[in-house]
Structure 1
Amino acid sequence: MATATYSPEYLAESRTTVLNIFYSIPIPLEIFSTAFRLWVKARPSSQGHLAFDDYLMVWATMVAVAECIAGLVYGAPNGLGRHIQAVPLEYRQKFLMGDYIFSHFYDVAIASTKLSILALYYRIFATDRFRIIVIITAIFVFMWLVAMEVVLGFGCQPVQGWWDASVAATASCVNKVAFTYSTNVTNLITDLWIFAMPIPIIFNLQASLNKRLALCFLFSIGLGTCALSAARLSVVVSVGSDDITWREVPLGILSAWEPCGGILCANLPLIYRAVVRGIKQIRSTVRTSRTRSRHISTRPNSPYLDWTRLHDGASSNNCATSKVTVTRGLTDQTEMDTIGPNGIKVQRDIKQEFHREDSDKLSDKMFS
Structure 2
Amino acid sequence: MTEFIPFIMQMMADPPDPNVVPLGNRHATIYGVTIPFHILCWVAVGLRLHTRLRVVRQPGLDDLIIVFALVFKLIGLVAFYGGLREGMGKHIIYIFNNLEMTMIWFYVANGTYIMTTVCVKLSLLFQYLRLFREGYRRVVTWILLIMVVLWGTVFTFMAWFPCFPVSGFWDKRMVPQAKCYGFGYRTVDEAKNTLFAFSGSNIVLDTAIFVLPLTEYFKPDLKRKQILAMTGLFTFGSIVVLMAILRLWSGVKYNNTVTLYDFTWWMPEVWLFSCLEVDFAIISASMPIFWPSVMAKWTEIFVTQEVMVVHARRSHYVQASELDVQMQRLSRRKSNDSYIALTEKVNAPSKSFLSFLDPDTGRSPSPGVAQVEVHTSERLTPFG
TM-score bracket, normalised by the shorter chain, equals 0.7 to 0.9
Q: What amino acid is the match of 1:129?
A: Y
Choose which of 187, 190, 199 in structure 1 pairs with 2:214.
199
- Equivalent pairs, count: 322
- What residue number does 2:50 align with? 39
Question: How far apart in 1 are the matches of 2:345 and 2:22?
Answer: 86
Contact 1:26–1:68 (CA under 8 A) maintained in structure 2: no
Residue aligning to 1:297? none
> CA offset at residue 316 of structure 1?
6.5
Matched, 1:52 2:66: no
- Asked whether the 8 Å contact 1:11–1:83 carries over to 2, the reply is no
Which residue number in structure 2 is paired with residue 257 of structure 1? 276
- 1:216 counterpart = 2:230: yes
Which of 222, 229, 248 is residue 267 of structure 2 equivalent to?
248
Higher CA-based Rg? 2
Aligned residue number for residue 173 of structure 2: 166
Shift of 1:254: 1.0
2:289 is aligned to 270
1:121 alignment counterpart: 128
Q: Aligned residues: percent identity?
A: 19
Matched with 1:318 is 322
Structure 2 match to 1:71? 80
Return 5+ residue gaps in structure 2 as ranges. 1-8, 183-189, 313-318, 326-338, 351-366
Counterpart residue number, 1:111: 118
Is 2:309–2:372's contact at 8 Å kept on the other side of the alignment?
Answer: no
Is there any run of 5+ residues in structure 1 with no aligned partner, and where? 288-302, 322-331, 355-359
Q: Equivalent residue of 2:33, what SS?
A: helix
Matched-pair contact (CA < 8 Å) for 1:15–1:82: no
Compared with structure 1, are the counterparts of its residues 21 and 93 closer, same or farther at alpha carbon in structure 2 (3 Å cutoff)? farther
Alignment root-mean-square deviation, CA: 3.9
Determine the C-alpha separation between the residues in 2 that align with 1:320 and 1:255.
71
Given that 1:336 and 1:344 are in contact with CA atoms closer than 8 Å, whether structure 2 keeps it comes out as: no
C-alpha distance in 2, partners of 1:8/1:228? 28
The amino acid of 2:215's aligned partner reads P
CA distance in 2, matches of 1:227, 1:149: 22
1:248-289, Cα deviation, whole Å (9 max, x unpaired): 1210111112111100111111111232234334445xx9xx
Aligned to 2:38: 27
Matches within 5 A, 1:319-358: 319=323, 338=345, 340-341=347-348, 345=369
Give me the TM-score of the superposition, normalised by structure 2.
0.71
TM-superposition CA deviations, 1:119-164 (whole Å, max 9, x none): 1111122224322221111111111111102223444333333222
Distance 1:304 1:243 in 2: 67
CA deviation profile, 1:300-358 (whole Å, cap 9, x unmatched): xxx77786999xxxx9753479xxxxxxxxxx9x996745248865678999xx9xxxx
How many Å separate the matches in 1 of 2:346 and 2:30?
74
Q: In 2, distance between residues paired with 1:100 and 1:92?
A: 12
Question: How big is the shift at 1:230?
Answer: 0.6
For 1:325, the equivalent position in structure 2 comes to none
Distance in 2 (CA, whole Å) between partners of 1:317 and 1:159 is: 96
Instruction: Find the aligned partners of 1:90 and 1:308 in 2 and give their Cα distance.
Output: 86
Label 1:336 to 1:26 Cα distance change in 2 as closer, same or farther (>3 A).
Answer: closer
Within the candidate set 175, 192, 204, 1:189 is matched to 204
Match of 1:81 among 76, 86, 89: 89
TM-score (norm 1): 0.74
Q: Does the alignment pair 1:139 with 2:149? A: no
Counterpart amino acid of 2:199?
N
- Equivalent position amino acid for 2:263 in 1: I
Alpha-carbon offset, residue 113 of structure 1: 0.7
Distance 2:372 2:301 in 1: 30
8 Å CA contact retained: 1:11, 1:86: no
